[in-house]
Structure 1
Amino acid sequence: MRPEVITFPQDTQFRAMVRNVTNYPYHWHNALEIVCVLQGQAAVGVGGGTHLLREKDILVINPDEIHRIDKSSRDNKLLLLQIDSAFYRELHPDHQYAFIYCYSPYHEAQAPEKYNKLKGYIADLICELNKKPGKNQEESVRDCLGKMLFYMAYSFDYLRFGPGGKAFDEKQVKRNKKMYRDILKFSPGKLGLKNLAGEVGISLYHLSHDIKNKFGLTFQELLYHIRGEQAAKLLLCTDKRIAKISAESGFSDPKYLIKHFKLNYHCTPSEFRKMYRGDEETLISQAEYHDYPLSEASKYLESYIDVKKQKNR
């Protein structure tokens, strides 16, 4: 279960389901996941943060991002879309270094049209999936899926928009993607801001201030976020000591890993492991959910199809 291996239906690279989820422990998988709340509410933990999603809210979980769904105070019906990351990235080379930043509780009020359009694409996809199998259904489904993913990659990419709603200029976007690629490629502990400034061809001072101004975080804070997530995975799926996990994740000293966990996960690494680690049998028993037919989603999404049609007139 850690990592979770998703088995996609034959000849498809995604799956869609409607579920009532009471509890689903920390896990991650090599798939992009979209969570849409059709009814009720759900507390979805991504990394160290927990997001309370209510009816009509939407959240995107990136491939290999650690996440969980906690018990909520009300019953829920969630539409879950899971898309194979290989398919997602093959659609456009730019997807290889995109990080989708889509949390409607925080941003939808500032950009309602952007979120409604995404929900329209999701509604179109579900509509096609719920049709009786026909000659061109597979092609239509793939077309809907491709349009939705293309829209997401260019409208919700953190490297293109940061936490705000206004896109950076293309020169800045290219630089951000190069930085992100280098962060992912470099071995733990081998990458510093000075090296990165040299890689992108600007001064250390300019790069440092540019990152802080565009993303609201320092380079070190962004780097610790990536390294902290790697450490969380190692805590949950290995017996390695904290000092070894700290070094393998790129922290120069265990005290920085501990500080990061206290700040973002509100506990120490040891406490995190004690609270959330379990063997395969225990983790499976903790996953509490009930599946509904996919057709259940249609009545909740009809209004978004109508809105999309009106926009396209």
Structure 2
Amino acid sequence: MVTGASSGIGRETAIRFAGRHARLALAARSEETLEEVAEECRAAGAAGVLVHPTDIADAQQVQSLFDAAITEFGRIDVAAQCAAITAFGRFEDVPVEVFDGIVRTNLLGAANVARAALAHFQSEGSGHLVLVGSLLGRTAVPFQSAYVVSKFALRGLVRVLRQENRRFPGIRVHGIYPGPVDTPVYSTAGNYFGRAPRVPPTAVSPGTIVGAIVRATDGRRSSERQVGWMNRPAIFTYAVLPALFDAVIGPFLRVVAFTSGPVESTSGNVFDPPPTPGGRASDGAARPAG
């Protein structure tokens, strides 16, 4: 099962597992885009594909997704939660409903997926739960406050779930923490910064993150993985030289993470998955800066 499967890391994860002839349950908010991804997965070799439009922020919709997948395929071996949304801007400039919506999807939505997955895995005796977090769950940066808050909390949830499920030797819980990734999220995110975000030069490809996901689910132990060449230097500087990090991170992001031209404020895909060029919808699977 892949949530956030309509674009970015989620889409690439689905296609990678399709190449292994897996049976796939694909979830995101946009049914039209999911159908496009489903066709790509079938062409890549998937043994079966179930499309189930789902807003992971709604626990009942998540349970319906799991029920449908279990009815269709009998069991779930891997649940990869890849959906996330973001908005750029100073904390006080981001509307309350936008801030809350981001936390609701990124944290509570991930918790909804984890809850349903673990209940199933515990009944079956095995399974891999993958929660895609972020470098920004270890290093706070300005202009993405809701995203940072949600990802710091998500990293804590991963650790708690690893602790609580030690008594189930067949259940593995994985935290995957990407740095910046080259996806469409920069053009579809909420934006209250006044300048358009752009893919930073430090970004890696979605395939790099998918490789880490696959390696984790091939393993026999729970794991947590930082993915991206800049992650460990950023974490080191944040921890060892906090004053320096805080002094330079704002000016650095203004230079590398935003264009110079002014743009109007927008909630982006926080509440609805808007179409992206080529008819695709950025549905929370694409990753923001970190």
Q: TM-score, normalised by structure 1?
A: 0.27
Kindly name which structure, 1 or 2, has the bigger radius of gyration based on alpha carbons.
Answer: 1
Q: TM-score, normalised by structure 2?
A: 0.29
Of Structure 1 and Structure 2, which has the larger fraction of its residues in helix? 1
